[in-house]
Structure formats: C-alpha cells, structure tokens
Amino acid sequence: MKNPEHRVQTTKRLLRSALTSLLAEKPLRSITVKELCARAQINRGTFYAHYADVYDLLSQIEAEMETEFYAALEPVLSSADNLTPPKATAKVFRCLEANADLCRATLGPHGDREFSARVIETGRKRCEESCKKHFPNASDRQIETYFTFITGGCIALMERWLKEDMAESSAVLADAAEQIMENGLGFLQ
C-alpha cells in the first residue's frame, strides 16, 4: 500500500499538470472543476478534499512557486561573499525550470499576469535592497535603473527559453545572463 502522503503529492501533481495544460487553452474563469478532474483523471471528491475551487488550486500552486523562487533568491540577498553571481542566478533559473509549466501558463495568453508581476516586483525590491549594501555609493535611482534593465532582460530570456522548450539547460541560460549582468556592473560603481 502506498504512503498516503505520496498519494496526496501525486494527486496535486496531476491537478497542477491538468490546470497548467488547460490554462494554455483558455482563461481560468472558463475552467470547471469537472473538466479539470477529467483531465487529471481523478474524481471531484478528491479535488474538493484539497481545494475549494480552481482559483484556490491556482493560488496554492502560485504560493508554492513563490516560496521556491524566494528561497532560490535568498543567497543573492544574503551577504555571503562565497556565492558567486553565476551560482546564485543558476539557482533562480533552476527554480524557473522546475516550474516551467506554471511559467508557461503565467506568461501565456490566459496566464495570471498579476502573479508574475507580483513575483518580479518582490524579487526586484529584495535584490535592490541587497544591492544597496554591496554598492553603497550607488544612488537609489541607479540601482532601480539597473534592476529594471536586468529584470526585463531576464524575463525576455526566460520567455524565449520557454518558447524554445528549454533547448538550453538552466545553467547555460544562467551563465549567459550572468555574463551580461557582470559586464554591466560598472554602472553601479
């Protein structure tokens, strides 16, 4: 007999997969619990044992990704000098790779743009705070300008990467992003 926790995790993975695939086809407001359960091949009672509705499911999936994303960002935000920028960026891109289904759904035509904007804005603010510690002579405006540029570039890289079905590894993409960022660090000096 399988572990009950394993069954719960399997059910949640199936529902996540079903939801993200349906979001590629239509907006969340048009997705019913019935069709979601049919796609996931689970019964509605099982769904309702974990979620109130499809909005609750999406909210919980997004909350899990936010937690993972901020955990991946944490080394960037800490003052740990032994963590090089490529290692930190690689952690962020690995998080995005692990959540590619949600990233595709969020950035797609029926995605939750508010979620992606919230994650990006919170991440940007946290990175700006950390950057102020490492570059005390940089003005707030310089730091804001730098991170606006970096965020836009990283989002564009991620969108292209997802569109190309992640043809490169997250490490290769992170390395490319880091090389671009490091060459631009003179702006903050």
Helices 85-98 & 54-77, crossing angle to 10 degrees?
A: 170
**Positive or negative: CA dihedral 153, 156, 162, 163:** negative
Place 153 in a pLDDT band, splitting at 50, 70 and 90: confident
**Residue-wise pLDDT tens digits, 20-60:** 999 989 999 999 999 999 999 999 999 999 999 999 999 99
**pTM assigned to the model:** 0.77
By CB atoms closer than 10 A (0-12, 13-18, 19+), residue 166 is middle
